[in-house]
Structure 1
Amino acid sequence: MKIAVDAMGGDNAPKAIVEGVMLAKKDFPDIEFLLFGKESAIKEYVTDDKNITIIHTDEKIESDDEPVKAIRRKKQSSMVLAAQAVKEKQADALFSAGNTGALLAAGLFVVGRIKQVERPGLMTTMPVFTGGKGAGFDFIDMGANADNKPEHLLTYGILASYYASQVRGVKNPRVGLLNNGTEDTKGSELTKKAFELLKEEPSLNFVGNVEARDLFNGVADVVVTDGFTGNAVLKSIEGTAQAIMSNLKSSILDSGLKGKMGALLLKDSLKELKQKMDYSNHGGAVLFGVKAPVVKTHGSTGPDAVRHTIRQIHTMLEKDVVNNLVAYFDEHQA
């Protein structure tokens, strides 16, 4: 299997990206990596060139570039060339830590959506504080679409339920609709109509409306929402987690000797909590509904997060998720 990597995407590129690829190479010797970007900068971090091909380009998409314009005008950028390689079947999947909007545009306009999906959704796996190691829920849409129809939310439920069962191994995943209350009649016109569609879909184990405050308690294995709401919720979660960890650290440092001794005793527990809150351990965000895996990790990502994301892509390719998903849609929409 071959993965096209935008080696110049992200705040710490190409260092973090290439170092993450080097880590993943040890885990997955069956992957061939196509690294797109400035050759001299990439080579600096390549410690083993087996299964590594570098495709040189000096052009890259910046974080502040307007997404669609960047895809259309920067055709020799590392991201566009990587997407083109997937489109032309030279690679099986696309990975980037670069400009999110540009990657979504590359997925839609270069890789292309599968015909059964009108609006692909951006999905990530979030941690929960109940259950064992690796427990989580799949959250879709996180911002690929600012405006949605009820039918799009139904499609997201089918996509994410399929991913949860086939990639994460969740048996009969519970699907919840994010809403401002758990009652069946709650919500906007969008969520009310989406509720009825999800409820009537026989292939889904729909458990009804779920509230944002219950997400981390394992209320559902899949949580569906529109892209505007999903992005707002995700950023609220990220900001809250960062504020808690920052204030906890400040409180410990300002609490004198007694507080620091207590923190030392709790060091392992605090480390475990931090790891549990880090959703990058589950891999990257998937643009689900396009013709090949297109996966995005955070722009400030480090080598370990890159490694986790490549593991996720490996699983998707190993299970032939996209082709099986097309067959799944054909079967359930016949």
Structure 2
Amino acid sequence: MAATPRIAIDAMGGDTGPAVMLAGAARAHERRSDLCFLMFGDRALIEPELEKHPSLAGAVEIVHCDDVIAGTEKPSQAIRRAKTSSMGRAIAAVKSGEANAALSAGNTGALMAMSKLALRTMPGIDRPALAALLPTLGDNDVVMLDLGANTESDAQNLVQFAVMGAAYARIALDLEKPRVQLLNIGTEELKGTDELKDAAAILRDADYLGMRFDGFIEGDKLSRGDVDVVVTDGFSGNIALKTAEGTARFVTDLLRRAFTSSVRSKIGFLISRPATELLKHHLDPNNHNGAVFLGLNGIVVKSHGSANAKGIANAIRVAARLVREDLSRKIAEDLERVSAHRTPMAAK
């Protein structure tokens, strides 16, 4: 486990490039001065932004790259430039050991493809999954995966996602035995696809793992705070995530419209402003920024493309904590337990 996390950052990814990436790094460094960074991208654009943050002096090394992966590029196109692009070289730094984790706010599909090609999946993992923390009404956020890396998943994939998600939750949420549920169209055991039923059957018997399997959960209960890890395939997970984000924007815009519709409404807004500010804080995606590709031989974190400095700082903190807590080792240990318990069954 690294005492001083070194984060490789794709400085050219996202909507605003080096400006927000450097500002985010400075914000994270203010809270943890042991952090250091490898910034991959156009030196001529990075250096002026670095000069705006004197606190980063000595904590940042710039690695010049002319090539940048566009947000519109297909993964099959982007992967051909893995060795020359700022995104690809940031991932390669993790593979070579120059960095402990990589962070990008760029093209998600390209990041997934490059990460999988360079780092490969861990032994016992068939497919990596994209996991993120989502806000809830409970005391903790909820870990949800897969959020789009795999459109189709069989029962074994779902079990692996549960193992990885639980390991992530033990670190990110500081829980000894996270509550795990499978996203389904109902909570009854007879509902859902064969893949979901088979995965549930395996997880019910997995009391040897650091999790508590609580069956199925429906989409309208995701934000209640009654579960710590929600597992699903990437197709359903991405729809659920985008629906939740859209609903949050809808509520925010509806309140804004309501509070500006009349003089009385504006007075009401001033009275209720503390409550609306709390709601805004809770729904702000920058406070939950930093999705993680789980199941790879290395840590890769994906930031929202529109994240601000606070959002980038949060994503950096996610990466640094996973490095310090050695997420990969914890996932590997749980996978070994799964293999050990399934081998005697397979022999029969």
Same fold (TM over 0.5): yes
* 1:285-315, Cα deviation, whole Å (9 max, x unpaired): 0000111110001010100001111111111
Alignment partner, residue 344 of structure 2: none
Q: What SS class does the counterpart of residue 266 from structure 1 fall into?
A: helix
Which residue of structure 1 lines up, in the alignment, with residue 258 of structure 2? 251
Question: Which residue is 2:30 aligned to?
Answer: 26
Q: How does 1:220-299 map to 2 (within 5 A)?
A: 220-254=227-261, 256-299=262-305
Secondary structure, counterpart of 1:139 in structure 2:
strand
Query: Residue 107 of structure 1 contacts residue 113 of structure 1 at CA under 8 Å; is this kept in 2?
Result: no
**Residue in structure 2 matched with residue 126 of structure 1 by the alignment:** 134
Q: In structure 1, what is the Cα distance between the partners aligned to 2:202 and 2:334?
A: 18
- Alpha-carbon spacing, 1:170–1:74, altered in 2? closer, same or farther (3 Å): closer
**Distance in 2 of aligned mates of 1:69 and 1:272:** 43
Gaps of 5+ in 1: none
Q: Within 1, Cα distance between the matches of 2:329 and 2:221?
A: 34
Amino acid at match of 1:271: E
Q: Give 3-state SS (helix, strand or coil) of 2:149's partner.
A: coil
> What is the aligned partner in structure 1 of residue 326 from structure 2?
320
2:339 aligned residue: 333
The residue type equivalent to 2:183 in the other structure is L
Cα shift at 1:279? 4.2
Q: CA deviation at 1:69?
A: 2.1
The question of 1:170 aligning with 2:158 is answered no
Question: Quick one: distance in 2 between partners of 1:35 and 1:208?
Answer: 43
Number of corresponding residues = 330
Q: Match for residue 188 of structure 2? A: 183
| Residue 82 (structure 2) pairs with residue 82 (structure 1) | no
Gaps of 5+ in 2: 341-348
Moved over 4 A (4+): none
Distance in 2 (CA, whole Å) between partners of 1:284 and 1:325 is 19
- Per the TM alignment, residue 283 of structure 1 is displaced from its structure 2 partner at its CA by 3.6
Could you tell me which amino acid in structure 1 is paired with residue 223 of structure 2?
F
**Identity among equivalent pairs (%):** 35
Distance (Å, rounded) in 1 between the aligned partners of 2:223 and 2:172: 20
Cα distance in structure 2, aligned partners of 1:233 and 1:57 = 36
* Matched letter for residue 41 of structure 1: L
Equivalent of residue 13 in structure 1, options 12, 17, 34:
17
1:97 corresponds to 2:101 = no
Q: Displacement of 1:20 after TM fit?
A: 0.4
Match of 1:151 among 156, 159, 163: 156
Aligned to 2:216: 209
Q: Which moved more, 1:21-30 or 1:139-148?
A: 21-30
**TM-score normalized with structure 1 length:** 0.95
Aligned residue type for 1:185: L
> Offset at 1:277?
1.9
In the TM superposition, residue 74 of structure 1 has moved relative to its aligned partner by 5.0
Structure 1 residue 107 corresponds to structure 2 residue 115: yes
